[in-house]
Structure 1
Amino acid sequence: MTGPVKVGFGPAENMPGMAVEYMSFGPEGQAVPPPFKGSRFLVPPGATSEPDEHAVAEIWLVRSGTGTVLSAGSRTHIGPGDALYYPPWVPHQVTSTGEDPLEVFSLWWTPQPQ
């Protein structure tokens, strides 16, 4: 049994409406990779991400800032401490509505058949 592996974040990739840093889980072979992938992203005040829709399930954990999420025709206000779950193929798009950037941690995985 091994102890925890410190998770790092790679260099930011600028995408329309936000900057994304993908998670890294230490050197290859150091630990069994987790069954998910992750990232941290920042949405500047007033910016809106591109609409996103994919085959994976996803959870967002809001660290700071405020915003609104448009998903499946519904608008939801989000802020620090909020968590959102997106089933596969549910479209979603976020807008930063506060004076500070919206910072979100995202984890995604391929759901297993039940």
Structure 2
Amino acid sequence: MSGPVKVAFGPAESTPGMLVEYMALGPGGSEALPPFQGSRFRVPPGETSEPDEHAVAEIWLVRSGRGTVLSAGSRTDIRPGDALYYPPWVPHQVTSTGDEPLEVFSLWWTPQPQ
């Protein structure tokens, strides 16, 4: 069994309301692809992401900043240490409400039939 595979993040891509860096395996990591994909993103203070919904399940881990998530008609305030789960096809959007950028790690995967 080999040791851990270092995961890096690609260059930042600008999307409306935020910057996104997608997860990429480092050199020699292709033999150990994880069963999920990931990214980290930053939403500047006062900015709002584009609405998002997709066929994959997703979890957000809040690293820093504060925000408000609008999802399926409800609002949820988020802060560092919070984790949020989005089932497939649940719309979600986030606004950075603090004085510093909201930073979030996102992991997503295709759910397996039960």
Point out where structure 1 has 5 or more consecutive residues left out of the alignment. Answer: none
Could you tell me which runs of 5 or more consecutive residues in structure 2 were left unpaired when the two chains were aligned: none
Stretches of 4+ moved more than 2 A in 1?
27-31
1:82 alignment partner in structure 2: 82
Q: Which amino acid aligns with 2:96?
A: S
Superposed CA RMSD in Å reads 1.0
After superposition, the C-alpha distances for 1:39-69 in whole angstroms (9 at most, x for unaligned) are 0000000000000000000000000000000
Alignment of 1:96 onto 2:79:
no
Q: Residues 5 and 31 of structure 1 are in contact (CA less than 8 Å); yes or no, is this contact kept in structure 2?
A: no
Q: How high is the sequence identity, in percent, across the aligned residues?
A: 82
* Aligned residues between the structures: 114
Tell me, yes or no, if the aligned pair for 1:2 and 1:31 is still in contact at 8 Å.
no
Name the SS of the counterpart of 1:31 in structure 2: helix
Per the TM alignment, residue 27 of structure 1 is displaced from its structure 2 partner at its CA by 2.6
Q: How far apart are 1:82 and its partner, in Å? A: 0.1
Partners of 2:98 and 2:77 in 1: CA distance: 11
| Residues 1:43 and 2:37 are matched in the alignment | no
Structure 1 position 105 matched with structure 2 position 105: yes
Q: TM-score, normalised by structure 1?
A: 0.97
TM-score by length of 2: 0.97
Please name the residue that 1:27 is paired with. 27
Inter-partner Cα distance in structure 1 for 2:45 and 2:6: 30
Deviation of residue 31 (structure 1)?
Answer: 3.2
State the AA in 2 paired with 1:104.
Answer: V
